[in-house]
Structure 1
Amino acid sequence: MTSATAAMDGVRLLSHRPSVLYKVEHLATEPAAGDIAVEGLLLAGPGWDERLRTLIKALSVSERACLFAIRLADEQSLPVPAETLLDRTRTDWFPEFLSHGRMRPHFQPIVDLTTGLAYGREALMRGMLGAVELRGGELLAAAEAHDALFSFDYRARTAALEVGLPLLPPGEILFVNVDPRASLDVESTMRTTWPVVGRLNADPSRICLELVKPERCLDRDLLLAITTEHRKRGALVALDDLSGGPDSLACLELIKPDVAKIDTALTSGIQHSVGRRALVKALVECAHELGAKVVAEGVERVDEFRAMAELGVDLGQGFYFGQPTEKPMAVDTRLVRPSAY
């Protein structure tokens, strides 16, 4: 590599599959590369990241999994999947956020579909880095890209408990997200949760730990052990994003949660889909047999609310009932009464 090339930003591309390396080199050296400097499997120069993104899109899923990269600015680091390196490049603000940023939860109501009263609030995380607000999805994606799920999950859970418990309206449940992938073992997840609850002298029965996409946790024994220990302390357990797939159903039967939340993808436009209505009805029956209340997530329209209520869903969450706000807001019970529609 020449000194001029070394001075440019970019990546060195690697793969254990020769066919992938050949295809990558062919794509990277096409005339459309413009002013991108390509030397063997070195991709450098202005706009290298956009060029690499285009190149990755031209590969099959299996080829992408075999393509790794090292940033030229940090050639002492270990190779990472090329897609992950691009995600890190796009979220290079995240390490500073973890060190100096501020977590602040917003609270969205979870509403009883019969009475219209708030059953609880989910703490949805927002971040502030200087004057810039970051949404929960952005923060989670950045944490994944930087292998910082444990640190992010711990900070988010701490903020949700410290801010949310003192603000929680009487009689309501605080839903706090927990990513099972960030649980190293049973002790670590207990240590990063219960000291905060004890310090606030809070009632554990008003806390519901919401496992986000639990099917991504491959160690099901660990998942069960974690939920068992939290329940021993008095907390409720919820499973998020139930889709009706085999993995999500396996988690439902394994954990037997207190609350089961139906994925937004099933809620959106359900009033127009006979198939989804049948799937949701089956999910509701399964959850009720296991003793769980069912929440429909992502309810945005009155027809979606009505369809879910007709299918026996117990609770609803979404913009129809209220936006996430810094302080829990009152819920209009007329939203579930016939006069409201």
Structure 2
Amino acid sequence: MELKHSKSIFSEPFKPIACDQCRNLEGLGFEFTMAFQPIWDTDLQRPFAYEALVRGMNGEPAYSILEQVNDGNRYRFDQACRVKAIELASKLGLQNQTDCLLSINFLPNAVYRPETCIRATLEASERFRFPTNRLMFEVTEGERVNDSEHLAGIFEAYRRRGFTTAIDDFGAGYSGLNLLAEFQPDVIKIDMELTRGIDRSASRQAILAGILLTCSRLKIRVIAEGVETEAEYRTLTEMGVHLIQGYYFARPEIDNLLQAIR
């Protein structure tokens, strides 16, 4: 996930102005596009999902766009990202790939009321004929969650709509396993700090084994992200992780839904 902030995602009360910004997606003051990176299902040998990642219009990295996001445009930016991801994925024909999901990062502090703030997403899905049950929404666990009840409410509302829910960067943030005691997403994505070099680290392997046991009992699927080497890939699959994302399989690309290169 690339939507990260040093500030608490729940540090300020939600403001009604969010609704006005959601209705008007113009006026951000900058343009952006999306690159898509596959999350590879090693059992089925096909993409499980493609994650939409923010990029500049000329391929500039995510931070060049995210540094322009502030309190005045955060709501509008969050909605614009959802619409842009669905539009571009649809134009690339992702809806024609059997059961493959589109993974979209979202900002919890840009969700005033889940059912209200999802309107632009639903309208974009209808406009571009993208099935809503093929959408996955990721929130980064690296953000400080002061209001877990609100986040749980968002996830519950999204589930009622048929969306898949995910916590990104799991294991790198403030709450860790305690977060799963409050609510359970459909998917967690293991942070790259845990997967990087896992083939050479007994401690990382032990931590991951504990996470996998917990997720198995809670019926949560696990994705390993940031995988770059064959040794990391082999270790992860031997431990029972079969959804893999990282440069080992494919880099994010603009205007292209890459299959795995391995």
Q: Do the aligned residues in 1 keep the contact of 2:143 with 2:173 (CA within 8 Å)?
A: no
Whole-Å Cα distance in 1 between the matches of residues 68 and 191 of structure 2?
Answer: 22
Change (3 A) 1:149 1:216: farther
Post-superposition CA distance 1:148-198 (Å, at most 9, x none): 322222211211111113421511111111121222232443223222112
Q: Do the aligned residues in 1 keep the contact of 2:37 with 2:50 (CA within 8 Å)?
A: yes
Structure 1 residue 98 corresponds to structure 2 residue 28: yes
Whole-Å Cα distance in 2 between the matches of residues 198 and 249 of structure 1?
Answer: 36
Partner of 1:179: 107
Secondary structure in 2 matching 1:134: coil
Structure 1 unaligned segments of length 5 or more: list them: 1-96, 336-341
Partner of 1:135: 61
Partner of 1:151: 76
Change (3 A) 1:289 1:140: farther
User: Out of 104, 107, 118, which is 2:47 matched to?
Assistant: 118
Tell me which moved more, 205-214 or 270-279.
Answer: 205-214
Whole-Å Cα distance in 1 between the matches of residues 74 and 31 of structure 2?
Answer: 16
Q: Do the aligned residues in 2 keep the contact of 1:244 with 1:279 (CA within 8 Å)?
A: no
> Which of structures 1 and 2 has the larger relative contact order (alpha carbons within 8 angstroms, sep 6+)?
2
TM superposition shift of 1:139: 2.1
Aligned-pair RMSD on alpha carbons? 2.3
Amino acid at match of 1:107: F
Structure 2 unaligned segments of length 5 or more: list them: 1-26
Matches within 5 A, 1:10-89: none
TM superposition shift of 1:245: 6.0
TM superposition shift of 1:140: 2.3
Structure 1 residue 170 corresponds to structure 2 residue 100: no
Partner of 1:328: 257
Whole-Å Cα distance in 2 between the matches of residues 251 and 138 of structure 1?
Answer: 30
Post-superposition CA distance 1:226-278 (Å, at most 9, x none): 11111111111111010076613233333322111000111111111111110
Amino acid at match of 1:125: V
Secondary structure in 2 matching 1:102: coil
Secondary structure in 2 matching 1:294: strand
Which has the greater radius of gyration? 1
Whole-Å Cα distance in 2 between the matches of residues 265 and 220 of structure 1?
Answer: 24
Amino acid at match of 2:185: P
User: Out of 117, 127, 137, which is 1:189 matched to?
Assistant: 117
User: Out of 299, 310, 319, which is 2:227 matched to?
Assistant: 299
Whole-Å Cα distance in 2 between the matches of residues 165 and 197 of structure 1?
Answer: 9
Q: Do the aligned residues in 2 keep the contact of 1:239 with 1:259 (CA within 8 Å)?
A: yes
Task: Report the structure, 1 or 2, having the larger helix content.
Answer: 1
Q: Do the aligned residues in 1 keep the contact of 2:78 with 2:110 (CA within 8 Å)?
A: yes
TM-score by length of 1: 0.63
Whole-Å Cα distance in 2 between the matches of residues 201 and 243 of structure 1?
Answer: 36
Whole-Å Cα distance in 2 between the matches of residues 279 and 138 of structure 1?
Answer: 34
Whole-Å Cα distance in 2 between the matches of residues 249 and 165 of structure 1?
Answer: 35
Partner of 2:11: none
Whole-Å Cα distance in 2 between the matches of residues 214 and 110 of structure 1?
Answer: 20
Post-superposition CA distance 1:283-336 (Å, at most 9, x none): 11111221111100000100110111122112000000101112102224xx3x
Tell me which moved more, 155-164 or 111-120.
Answer: 111-120
Q: Do the aligned residues in 2 keep the contact of 1:180 with 1:217 (CA within 8 Å)?
A: no
TM superposition shift of 1:213: 2.9
TM superposition shift of 1:136: 1.6
Q: Do the aligned residues in 2 keep the contact of 1:179 with 1:213 (CA within 8 Å)?
A: no
Q: Do the aligned residues in 1 keep the contact of 2:166 with 2:186 (CA within 8 Å)?
A: yes
TM-score by length of 2: 0.81
Aligned pairs, number = 233
Amino acid at match of 1:234: G
